[in-house]
Structure 1
Amino acid sequence: MQGINRCPPVKIFVGLLFAFALNVMVFTQIYGQEAVDSNIISYTDKLAYGVDLSTDIDEFIVSGPDTENFHLVTNNDVKLTLRLNYKFLNLSFGFSPGFLSGNDDDELKGDSSFTEYQVNMFPGRFVQNVFFRRMKGFYVENTEDFVPLWQEGTDPYLQFPDLKSIEWGGYTGFVLNEKFSLRSLLNRQEWQLTSSGSFIPALRYNFTKLANTFESGSYGKENQVDLRADLGYYYNYVVSPKVNIAPYARAGIGPKTSKYTLDGVVDKNTYFVSDYGGGLQLGYNTDQLYMGIRGSFNGYTYKDESDNTISNNLWHGLFYIGYRFETPEKLKNLF
């Protein structure tokens, strides 16, 4: 896409990694090293590798009193995520391989790309997440509402191949119940032996940059800043010593500021955003092997200055599997 410099995500995450490593040490000095509850098994001294295979429906919907609903989606339904966990370090890298079924229908839906980096950390009872996400290439899922006589499976969808979304963000949360392990659900570095749940308040923040070059040659970009206060409840139901079921639900509210520029003309606005989500996870665990499935839904909605309702809904289903290894002595000494 013209007019946008490519973001160096690896350099950004090296900087973020050092910053949050320092953050972890500060938290440790302030709160001390908390002992793991006797009903929680810790695997933080193990070097763990994991793989997620997920299928996503990520849709942007614009609806209004005087307009047709407009559904924008990307052509990369299936994603792979590689994970590395050791001590306080929890890294993941996600991408969308073009050879997988669901990502290869480029002739009708266009070419899409997806990249995501994430870091999770757990200083004491805090949870800290930071991420970078880049998507490019969208098509209109409901093309039949805009093109008469359009035939699904034969005619190409309306496409925005240069539409790009770049997002930096994260959240900071606190686990109110010290007997509940959020770490066992997010990174599988712990495992609970007794059922427990907890409310988790969090502050979510992100910066999004949207940009597109239109067929007419016009160039538009929008910078968005979101800040939301969030409250969720997570429960870990222990079916057996090796199997758990974990539902959760959350909701949040907060402001969104937007700066839209089209051919040099600037429009600034502030909106009130509602954020929501929920899901269910089924997990299996041994001291070495762990695996499971999870289904979740996350979204937000707000109204713009034209009274249009803007929504982003993400339906997410995944299968994860990983293995824990004994840590090499050189790595132990380094940490």
Structure 2
Amino acid sequence: MGLKAFFIVFLLFAASFSNAQDIELDSIKELNYIQKFPNKITGRLFYINTSNSFEFKGRLTDQRVSLTPNKQNRIGASIAFKAIKLSYSFAPDFMAENQDNEDSKLFNIGLRTYLGKWMQTLNLYNEKGFYLEAYGQELYLPRTSSLKIGGSTGYIFNENFSFRSITNQDEKQLKSAGSFLPQLIYYYTKYGIKGDGDSGQQVDEKYHSVDVALSPGYYYNWVPTKNLMISAGAAAGLGVNFSNGTDSESLTSLLYDLNFRGAINYDFSDFYAGAQYSYLILNHNTDRTTYTEDNIPYFEAFIGYRFKAPKKILDISDDVNKKIDSIKN
């Protein structure tokens, strides 16, 4: 089975699994904690500012070197139904931060799906064009690039707590609730530093890094009024990092991560608006003399509307779900 076919099958399965979970809707409504929208399509317009930056510190000296990408602000639109979501964004030239984007790029994909109490995320960052800051000087390196791919697998212990209401808005938190949420975090990172050295020689250094950490956390959705939700949470964990570079030997070191998240949503009938912010920090050794801070800030502001799915789409979803049920039986 090809990758494309596998991906389509996975999306159909996820959508059908989500449809099966809607059977529990009546019991959840009795608890009066979460409102679901199983037969509605969620559309939204959004603004996103995110990047992946690095800071290197000498373990034996006070030397600091930072690599900060040429950041881009993006606007876009998305449409989602059950576990399937389509999204498109671009960096318009009229935004001030985008007016020096020549010879630089930022490509980001973020996917999130839910299987019962399990939550799965996948993120990809592909960046080109970095500012190098050291000794009070700043230099733009247009050929320096980085690639990060990975995600997390988490388990939401409290069924009355809705993480979807924070990130997807296809659920609404009706009463305040929190949950312990442990996650397994894993990322692969590659970055290449390219530029001209002091004496004119070419600098071309490549580094590879693998992070794996167990990160327990707690998140809380506070509902002070009927249509307003304020969410906050944090996670911290330990793990292991594997690193190697162009001229250095492979190194295995202790990794620790910190993850902060906050959000505010206003939800009235099918209209909603809000913002969310998160900050992931991965700290580890790069080599025997250098310590690395790997930072991923993420900010999103959005406005959206839920509208009833056409009967044809609902029928297709029901047919797929029936076929999966017949295979199980």
User: What interval of TM-score do these two structures reach, taking the shorter chain for normalisation?
Assistant: 0.7 to 0.9
Q: CA deviation at 1:266?
A: 6.4
Between 16-25 and 246-255, the greater mean CA deviation after superposition: 16-25
The 5-angstrom pairing of residues 281-320 of structure 1 reads 281-320=263-302
Distance 1:131 1:313, change over 3 A: closer
Do residues 176 (structure 1) and 176 (structure 2) align?
no
Q: Which moved more, 1:95-104 or 1:292-301?
A: 95-104
58, 71, 84: which one aligns with 2:66: 71
Instruction: State whether structure 2 residue 23 is matched by structure 1 residue 41.
Output: no
Residue number in structure 2 paired with 1:7: none
- Map of 2:139 onto structure 1: 158
Task: Show structure 1 runs of 5+ residues with no match.
Answer: 1-10, 148-156
Question: In the alignment, is the contact (CA less than 8 A) between 2:113 and 2:121 conserved in 1?
Answer: yes
Paired residue type of 1:35: E
Alignment of 1:235 with 2:224, yes or no, is no
Q: Which has the higher helix share?
A: 2
Amino acid corresponding to residue 48 of structure 1 in structure 2:
T
Aligned sequence identity (%): 26
In the other structure, the counterpart of 2:110 is: 118
Any idea what SS the aligned residue of 2:11 has? Answer: helix
CA RMSD in angstroms comes to 2.8
Do the aligned residues in 2 keep the contact of 1:89 with 1:120 (CA within 8 Å)?
Answer: no
TM-score by length of 1: 0.81
Deviates more, 1:297-306 or 1:192-201: 297-306
C-alpha distance after superposition, 1:152-181 (max 9, x if no partner): xxxxx4022111112221211110011111
Q: How does 1:267-286 map to 2 (within 5 A)?
A: 267-286=249-268
Q: Matches of 1:252 and 1:177 in 2, distance apart?
A: 20
Conserved? CA contact 1:92–1:117, under 8 Å: no
Which 5+ residue runs of structure 2 have no aligned equivalent? 318-329
Task: Provide the rounded CA distance (Å) in 1 between the counterparts of 2:125 and 2:87.
Answer: 12
SS in structure 1 at match of 2:24: coil
Alignment pair present for 1:256 and 2:241: yes
Match of 1:326 among 308, 315, 324: 308
1:219 deviates by 3.7
Report the Cα distance in structure 2 between the residues aligned to 1:120 and 1:228, rounded to whole angstroms: 19
What TM-score does the superposition give when structure 2 sets the normalisation length? Answer: 0.82
Query: Using the alignment, how far apart are the partners of 1:177 and 1:330 within structure 2?
Result: 34
Corresponding residue SS for 1:122 = strand
Q: Is the alpha carbon distance of 1:20 and 1:90 closer, same or farther for their aligned partners in structure 2, counting shifts above 3 Å?
A: same
Match 1:55 to one of 44, 49, 52: 49
Whether contact under 8 Å (1:91, 1:120) holds in the other structure is no
Aligned length: 306
Residue 131 of structure 1 corresponds to which residue in structure 2? 123
- Aligned residue identity for 1:129: T
Q: 1:183 is matched by which residue type in structure 2?
A: R
* Whole-angstrom CA distance in 1 between matches of 2:255 and 2:288: 15
